Chains A and B, each alone.
Chain A
Amino acid sequence: MTGIAMHWNSWSEFLHMGGYAFYVWGSYGVTAVLIVGEILLLRAHRQKALTLAKRTVKYGKVEKEEGNDEIAA
């Protein structure tokens, strides 16, 4: 891999992507949105789970003995 250098001469050339800007940035853009979206979903899921657990504690629905099911885990 000799002669590795910045391939693009200017910022606008980079964005132009050889005329395929729509397809390349359409791919990268949607992927970025989906990844960020999933990370936000994950955080929301965690918050929901934590509030659910806190509500369970508050309403005293926590089993007294250790663990809550009969099958060994």
Chain B
Amino acid sequence: MNSINWYKYSSPATFYGLAGKLIPWFYSAAALFCVAGLYLGLVLAPTDFQQSDAYRIIFIHVPAAWMSMFIYVVMACWAALGLAFNTRLSFMMASALAPTGAMLTFVSLWTGALWGKPTWGAWWVWDARLTSELILFFLYLGFMALQAAIDDPRRADRAGALIALVGVVNVPIIYFSVRWWNTLHQGASVSMTKAPSMAAIMLVGMLVMALAAWMYAIAAALSRARSIILEREKNSQWVAQMVEAEV
């Protein structure tokens, strides 16, 4: 019986080639979704009766916030896989995701502040949602700093995996913060359980931008993963052959 070789793409050399082929597709998908999303959100969507045009920040704020949480969960999954199967590539994927996750968390905090100033009258409040998102940002920075501080890649991987797994409990806290505490931040306008309380075109624009953010995050993480693979596999034959072919 032709059993599936699950480990085929877990070898850095094979994954390196596969990722190389996929990256351009993800970047172009991200660009396409972004153009479509921005056109919907910035050009076609009407002004909001309450917030006038300040609400258009939603097309960046929400996708970035969703991705910041989603990426951390994906990092935790890679960390768990790496610890369970001892596959170095899983740890490399977690390390490849962290900078993009940190950047999107910062974008979410930044756009939130610029949205909050005109609508709440404050750049920042120690609100449950905002504070837990800020903690997420520090967790990302902590993951990267810890990995940078440890020379031996294998020990750095395990330390990073620990922060990823321990910190992942913060993600549901962020998500449910608006329900558990009386927060200034509004509740979920979009949820799995009830119909979204948003105008259709605004919702579609936001969802398309969320897809753009997702495609971008994949492309960026795969691209960084390839560089990490090269750095950590530089002594092996396949890297030598590939680089010699290029030289």
Contacts and interface: CB of A to CB of B under 8 A. Distances in A.
Interface of A: 1, 4-8, 14, 17-20, 22-24, 26-28, 30-31, 34-35, 38-39, 41-42, 45-46, 48-50, 52-54, 56-57, 61-63, 65-69, 71, 73
A19 B239 CA distance: 55
Contacts, number: 137
A68 B106 contact: no
B211 interface: no
Interface majority SS on B: helix, strand, loop or mixed? helix
B227 A48 contact: yes
Contact of B100 (A38, A68, A69): A38
A56 B223 contact: no
Interface residues of B, number: 57
Given A24-B53, A50-B246, A62-B237, A6 B114 contact: no
Given A42-B224, A63-B236, A20 B52 contact: yes
Interface in B116-145: 117-118
A49 B227 contact: yes
